[in-house]
Amino acid sequence: MRRLLFAANWKMHLGPDDTRGYLKTFRARYNRREDRDIWFFPPAVAIEAAVLAVRERTDLLVGAQDVYWEPKGAFTGAISAPLAFQAGARATLVGHSERRHVFGETDEDTRRKVAAALAGGLAPMLCVGETLAERDAGHTLAVVVRQLAGALSSLDGPTLSRLIVAYEPVWAIGTGRNATPRDAATVHREIRAWLTGRGADAPRVLYGGSVNAKNVAELLAERELDGVLVGGASLDPEGWAQLVQTGAA
Ligand code: 13P
């Protein structure tokens, strides 16, 4: 049976006070279900507040949105995997489309960050996905495979089994336009084949891009999706509590 993963990427929203209030409301509204995990990616300053608010809940986990690859040093403004771990994070996003397209992150950067996350005890959630121009040119699968290879090709099967891949087409992020379950499934199959071909055991592949309470059931009905990575629709604790109770494993 698949175990669903619902991941909330808060991006640059919700500080420590907001986080405490959010998770109090969320915990009151979410009836725990044994077939799913809920992960939160708050801004770095709110990681510790989130960790304290979900303690004693093995189904709720907190991660960082990004980490730099060096463990420590003179890198003003950056946080490392060991620092995020010390704050209580147990996962990190790597290569989110906003990191790639707003901050200019390269495939080589994602390779270093995945390695640093693994070394620092964080489960990497590698984000991949094509732009609209790449999609229109018919390059979707080539782009996704290039991003996978760029970040992961030096890793062995057991190590690949420790990470998660999120397919987030850039044109679907924050646009209200989501991929169809069928389109997503085609890409998910390719990602899964790439990972299992290198020895990964039962890799988890999530979909992200304009997921909301209205479309999540249809998306998760597609068995290739092991869960969702959600931005805008995760910012309201009541809406998120409702969204994460949708769909069957
Ligand atoms: P939206 O759900 O707001 O489209 O954002 C998706 C995303 O980027 C999650 O990481």
Tokens of 11: 């991006």
Mutate to test the pocket of ligand 1, among 94, 173, 212 (most ligand atoms within 8 A of CB): 173
Return the active site residues: 96, 168
DSSP 3-state of 4: strand
Token code pair at residue 119: 């070394």
Cα–Cα nearest to 115, from 77, 150, 167:
150
Q: Please check whether the domain covering 4-243 is classified as CATH 3.20.20.70.
A: yes
Q: Measuring CA to CA, which residue among 93, 109, 89, 111 is closest to residue 45?
A: 89
Residue 133 vs residues 97, 150, 185: alpha-carbon distances, Å: 14, 20, 20
- C-alpha R_g of the chain: 17
Ligand 1 pocket mutation, candidates 66, 211, 243, criterion most atoms within 8 A of CB: 211
Residue 75 has a CB neighbour count (10 Å cut-off) of 11
DSSP H or E run through 62? strand 60-64
Q: What is the spatial distance between Cα 158 and Cα 64, in angstroms, rounded to a whole number? A: 23
**Residue 205 vs residues 17, 75, 128, 176: alpha-carbon distances, Å:** 32, 32, 11, 21
Alpha helices by DSSP H, 4-129: 16-29, 47-53, 81-86, 97-101, 107-119
Which alpha helices (DSSP H) does 54-180 contain, by range? 81-86, 97-101, 107-119, 132-136, 140-152, 157-160
Write down the pLDDT at residue 178: 86
pLDDT digits (tens), the chain, 249 positions: 789 999 999 999 999 999 999 999 999 999 899 999 999 999 999 999 999 999 989 999 999 999 999 999 999 999 999 999 999 999 999 999 999 999 999 999 999 999 999 999 999 999 999 999 999 999 999 999 999 999 999 999 999 999 999 999 999 999 998 889 999 999 999 999 999 999 999 999 999 999 999 999 999 999 999 999 999 999 999 999 999 999 777
Q: Are 28 and 5 in contact (CB under 8 A)?
A: no
* Residue-level pLDDT at 98: 97
Question: Is the overall model pTM greater than 0.75, yes or no?
Answer: yes
In angstroms, the CA 99 to CA 205 distance is 20
pLDDT given for residue 2 in this prediction: 84
**How many Å apart are CA 179 and CA 158, to the nearest integer?**
30
Structural contact between residues 243 and 22, judged by C-beta atoms closer than 8 angstroms: no
Phi/psi-derived region of residue 71, left when phi > 0, alpha when psi is between -120 and 50, beta in every other case: alpha
Which residue's CA is minimally distant from atom 1 of ligand 1? 231
Give the binding-site residues of ligand 1, using a 6 Å CB cut-off.
9, 96, 168, 173-174, 208-211, 229-233
How far apart (Å, rounded) are the C-alpha atoms in residues 63 and 238? 21
- Provide the residue ranges of all domains of the chain, joining segments of one domain with +: 4-243
